[in-house]
Amino acid sequence: MPVSEYRYKRRVQFADTDLAGVVHFSWIARYLEEAEHALWRNAGLSIVPADSPVSFPRVALSIEFKAPLFFEDEFEVHVRLTGVSKRSLTYAHTITRGDTVIATGTMTAVCVSKSPAPMKAVEIPAEILARLEIHPST
Amino acid sequence: MPVSEYRYKRRVQFADTDLAGVVHFSWIARYLEEAEHALWRNAGLSIVPADSPVSFPRVALSIEFKAPLFFEDEFEVHVRLTGVSKRSLTYAHTITRGDTVIATGTMTAVCVSKSPAPMKAVEIPAEILARLEIHPST
Amino acid sequence: MPVSEYRYKRRVQFADTDLAGVVHFSWIARYLEEAEHALWRNAGLSIVPADSPVSFPRVALSIEFKAPLFFEDEFEVHVRLTGVSKRSLTYAHTITRGDTVIATGTMTAVCVSKSPAPMKAVEIPAEILARLEIHPST
Amino acid sequence: MPVSEYRYKRRVQFADTDLAGVVHFSWIARYLEEAEHALWRNAGLSIVPADSPVSFPRVALSIEFKAPLFFEDEFEVHVRLTGVSKRSLTYAHTITRGDTVIATGTMTAVCVSKSPAPMKAVEIPAEILARLEIHPST
């Protein structure tokens, strides 16, 4: 069955923090991507298999930071697929620690051919599209 | 004189890249922050002096990625202060490599008291506001 | 019962890789630390609780890299406590992916008072020492 | 003329720090590599030109951490080439902030063919060896 969402669980590591004593904002962006790749694995896919002719660079990212995350906090990234077009995928994310919303985000990735450079948008392979679908709440 | 913009120059380091052969998108977010802090230094300020009672966590981040950056590329982040309120600062950024636009972004940081946790928004100290001003093109 | 070792499991994330297509060597160093902190949690400890008067910066690190790690690889870090003195802890690590040894390492951390700066070596609190012990194979 | 050393200058960025208020030790390892690559550029080389058949993964790393580095500190990495063999290069590094020694390190990188995987040690191309030489103090 196609996959439209995933709940990715993670713990804050020491190297994710900065001198303000909280998770550095760039790590929040990485958590969104880790959740996206976990959604792909849950769909039986890898976002970059060793021999893939395509890759999926981000073209847009937007995050609102609501509350700080601390060292060793356990949290969840709920990622939903909110848009699927021939050449791109859009995700919405909510990061929570228990009942506290830490951040919300959206991210759009586009399918590009790996060579020749510069990257050129191409159609998402059918075998990938067959395993992903838009989240019903969208 | 108050500062409203800065042109920050940087070279891509090896650890900034990922297996797709380009700069990882989370590094683009870090470049925006490096430019912001360089703007502060250019205004005679540090964003977190050792004894500061406040810090400036991000509350919003938005980036559009236009073209890839590669290992050892030299690039520029042009950061402008586009919004100043009692408690927050908003920046707009353009990253370029020569004539190529790599990314554009906006970021909002809010002034918070460092203790007690959780972070609470407070007014930006007057001696900081005196050294910053909104960019005329805004 | 005191803890002397831990087997930490982890998957390689996209942001851990570099343009050579493998995990960047600095991430191997981070994996060693993640395993150390997991050992502490398994002993009922946090290496930096919010109100701790001490912290444990590294004073020595040595790694031999034997084989590359790739995106999405699942691997294990086996960390053993090989030295305990009044003021320092020494660990030995072996990273494996299945039967393949990826890297071996040693790391020494010293107990320091958090303030005033600069960091000064102090004795490890007794309640921490009570929960850790040297690995029998040492 | 062949190059045997380089003095690489750098400023600590916010994202290099951790909750202990100092530069995370994994960043010290990255600084060593940044200095190595700067030495190569100073020799008219890139360590991984786009079309290179070889790359230079690290096989050994050793660091002693002597003093903490703080946000916005300006520091220097003095890297010397201390060993050159047919297939490997060894470097020694000293990181200083003014008169304070922050860390010393050694690193060995081996020349490998980029494909097919797994990486296989090969001879360093002659045009690279012609531009590098062992530091006279070695």
User: Over the stretch B79-110, which tens digit does the pLDDT of each residue have?
Assistant: 999 999 999 999 999 999 999 999 999 999 99
Cβ neighbour number for residue D20 with a 10 Å cutoff:
20
**From A16, A18, A51, A73, active-site residue:** A18
CA distance C128 to C3: 11
3-class DSSP assignment, residue C30: helix
> For every one of its 138 residues, what pLDDT tens digit does chain D have, with 9 covering 90 and above?
899 999 999 999 999 999 999 999 999 999 999 999 999 999 999 999 878 889 999 999 999 999 999 999 999 999 999 999 999 999 999 999 999 999 999 999 999 998 766 678 999 999 999 999 999 988
Distance from the Cα of B62 to chain A's closest Cα (Å) equals: 4
- Backbone φ, ψ for residue A55 (5° rounding): -140, 175
- H/E element, B104: strand B100-110
The three-state secondary structure class of B88 is strand
**Digit-coded pLDDT (tens) for C48-95:** 987 888 999 999 999 999 999 999 999 999 999 999 999 999 999 999
In angstroms, rounded to a whole number, what is the distance separating the alpha carbons of residues C106 and C94?
9
Per CB-CB distance under 8 Å, the chain B contacts of A26 are 26-27, 29-30, 33
pTM (global) more than 0.95: yes
Taking the CA of residue C52 as centre, how many other CA atoms within 13 Å lie in the half-sphere pointing to its CB? 19
Interface A-C, measured as beta-carbon pairs within 8 A, has a size of: 36
> Smallest CA–CA separation between C49 and chain A, in Å?
9
A71 reaches C (C-beta below 8 A): yes
Q: Which residues pair with D102 in a beta bridge?
A: none
Residues whose CB falls within 8 Å of the CB of residue B49, separated by 6 or more in sequence, listed in order: none
Provide the pLDDT for residue B120. Answer: 87
Non-local CB neighbours of A104 within 8 Å, separated by 6+ positions: A63, A64, A66, A92, A93, A94, A95
- Please report the pLDDT score of residue D116 as a whole number: 65
Q: Which letter, b or e, does each residue of C126-135 get, where b requires 16 or more Cβ atoms within 10 Å of its Cβ?
A: eebeeebeee
Of A19, A67, A118, which has the smallest distance from its Cβ to B118's Cβ? A67
Residue A97: name the closest of A116, A123, A82, A77 by CA. Answer: A77
Chain C interface test: which of A10, A52, A70, A71 (most C C-beta within 10 Å):
A71
* Residue A94 to residue A78: CA distance in whole angstroms: 5
3-state secondary structure of A37: helix
Which of the residues D8, D10, D11, D14 would you substitute to probe the B interface, choosing the one with the greatest number of B C-beta atoms within 10 Å? D14
Report the distance separating Cα A104 and Cα A79, nearest Å.
10
The Cα of C17 is separated from the nearest Cα of chain B by a number of Å equal to 5
pLDDT reported for residue A53: 87
Please tell me the distance from the alpha carbon of residue D21 to that of residue A10, in angstroms, as a whole number: 24
Here the tokens at position D76 are: 């220097």
Of B48, B65, B114, the CB nearest to A59: B65
Q: Which residues contact C18 (CB under 8 A, 6 or more apart)?
A: B14, B15, B17, B18, B19, C24
Region of B135 (left: φ > 0; alpha: ψ -120 to 50; beta: rest) is beta
Mean pLDDT of A118-137: 92
User: How confident is the model at residue D114, as a pLDDT?
Assistant: 80
Q: Is A24 on the interface with D (CB under 8 A)?
A: yes
Dihedral in degrees, nearest 10, Cα atoms A73, A67, C32, C59: -110
Whether the CB-CB separation of B39 and B57 falls below 8 Å is answered with: no
3-state secondary structure B38-87: HHHHHCCCCCCCCCCCEECCEEEEEEEECCCCCCCCEEEEEEEEEEECCC
Residue D85 DSSP SS3: coil
Given A14, A46, A48, which is nearest C33 (Cβ)?
A14
Whether B72 and chain D come into contact, CB under 8 Å, resolves to: yes
Q: CA quadruple C92, C97, C103, C108: dihedral positive or negative?
A: negative
Going by pLDDT thresholds of 50, 70 and 90, the confidence category of residue A117 is low
C51 touches chain B (CB under 8 A): no
* Among B19, B61, B68, beta carbon nearest to A63: B61
Residue A118 — very low, low, confident or very high, per pLDDT cuts 50/70/90?
low
Token pair listed for D25: 């030790």
Please list every residue in chain D whose beta carbon sits closer than 8 Å to the beta carbon of residue B34.
13-15
Q: Choose the mutation target among A18, A25, A72 for the interface with D, i.e. most D CBs under 10 Å.
A: A18
Query: Does an H or E element contain D81, and which?
Result: strand D74-84
Q: For B35-68, how does the pLDDT look when each residue is reduced to its tens digit (9 = 90+)? A: 999 999 999 999 998 788 899 999 999 999 999 9
Chain C residue whose CA is closest to D102: C59
